[in-house]
Amino acid sequence: VASGRIDRGIVRVNDEVEIVGIKGDIQKAVVTGVEMFRKQLDEGLAGDNVGVLLRGVQR
């Protein structure tokens, strides 16, 4: 789970996202879930503080 604020746009389940700032490179992952205040959402909007479940990223 990655947590933080969505800077811009919309994040939806099954979207492919790029994670910037990990080990100096860009990693790609697929969103498998979006959570806010312990509730599952279909999408997160810009400005939302969310937890994003990701597939394709190792710890």
Q: Which CATH architecture has domain 2-55?
A: Beta Barrel (2.40)
**What digits encode the pLDDT tens for the residues 5-35?**
998 999 999 999 988 876 778 889 999 999 9
Q: Which residue has the higher pLDDT, 49 or 23?
A: 49
Q: What is the mean pLDDT of residues 37-50?
A: 96
Residues with Cβ within 8 Å of 8's Cβ and at least 6 positions away in sequence, in order, are 46
Give pTM, 2 decimals.
0.81
Look at residue 22 in the predicted model and tell me its pLDDT: 62
Confidence of residue 50 (pLDDT cuts 50, 70, 90): very high
**Structural domain boundaries in the chain:** 2-55
